[in-house]
Amino acid sequence: MNFSPEYAADRFLKTLSAEQYEKATYSFEDTMRTKWTNLPVGLVPRAGIPYGSLSDSSRLAWHRVLTAILSSQGYLKTTSIMKLDDILNELYKSYLDGGKINQPTYDRIRNLNWSHGNYYISVYGLPYSGKPWSINYGGHHIALTNLQYKNGVSMSPYFIGTDPGEVKTDKYAGLRVLSKEEDYGFMLINLLSPKQKSMNIVSEKIPADIITSPSSSQRIDNYYGISADKMNTEQKILLDLIIEEYVHNLNHTKAHQLMSKIRKNGYKKIYFAWIGSTMNDKPHYYIINSPDILIEYDNVGFNNDGNHIHAILREKGNDFGEDLLMRHYKEVKH
């Protein structure tokens, strides 16, 4: 059986009705292809068709697309984040019933329209066309893009988030979808010596969100914190684990290509910086920056409870296939 993204996406499109197909497909040049957000659909509408509107046959085919472009861990995180939206709705309903929030507050939250079915699928260009094409998937706490062409793949930016980071009450208490992104960060910062921490911990206000969020004009051009060549072997191994946790959400081929690229440039050029608490359940933030990738992790929470995670992986110079497309246009006459 063919497990390629092209085959899976083509098969998915063939399950759609004529009306769904028209809403889901766009020209590759459409400017919506390079727009992303992690905000709920009630705040920022999405292009494409909602997952919740799909037939069973289309849902089965869509999950084949996800398993083609993501690793097993990436697939499970993505589908768990979707489920977490329904869990969050259940939690807010219990808060209403228990008198912790009032009806207007509950109505305002529900109008944000996050739910398992409110993730939108859009396709730019077409698989098997011989030209670049892209498939995007987005909703509350997911912004996934996968651009394919014969000379490569781009999956940048790749945003994931969780609210709550850890479910604290009711039947799902203990669930932590992005556990390793959090745990490995704490393990590394607390493994540093006092001297290393003085180089690593940045005395700044904890960002309210990732600095390179789509609503921000801020970029991260400088390198902060401690370079990996100043870490001992144990610390370098842990830094590697953090990077791999993000990169290996992508499918096997793309993940190993990107890890090879990162390691080729060496540890001297990888920097790790931390802002905020070094303990659980308190606001904290970290960044890993190298010439090849940028990783941001932010965990502040609306009540400063350190229980609402936003995280992003970016392949520098290749957001939405920028580098890949540049090479394509140089090689192919238009």
For residue range 115-166, list pLDDT tens digits in order.
Answer: 999 999 999 999 999 899 999 999 999 999 999 987 789 999 999 999 999 9
Sequence-ordered list of residues with C-beta below 8 angstroms from that of 202, at least 6 positions apart, any chain:
224, 225, 273, 274, 275
Share of the chain above pLDDT 90, in %: 78
Residue with tokens 């979808």: 177
Strands 293-299 and 309-315 come out as antiparallel
pLDDT, tens only, 27-43: 999 999 999 998 999 99
Sequence-ordered list of residues with C-beta below 8 angstroms from that of 215, at least 6 positions apart, any chain:
37, 39, 209
pLDDT score at 2 = 81
What mean pLDDT is predicted for residues 286-302? 93
pLDDT higher than threshold 80 for residue 217? no
What mean pLDDT, rounded, does the chain reach?
Answer: 92
pLDDT grade for 331, boundaries at 50, 70 and 90: low
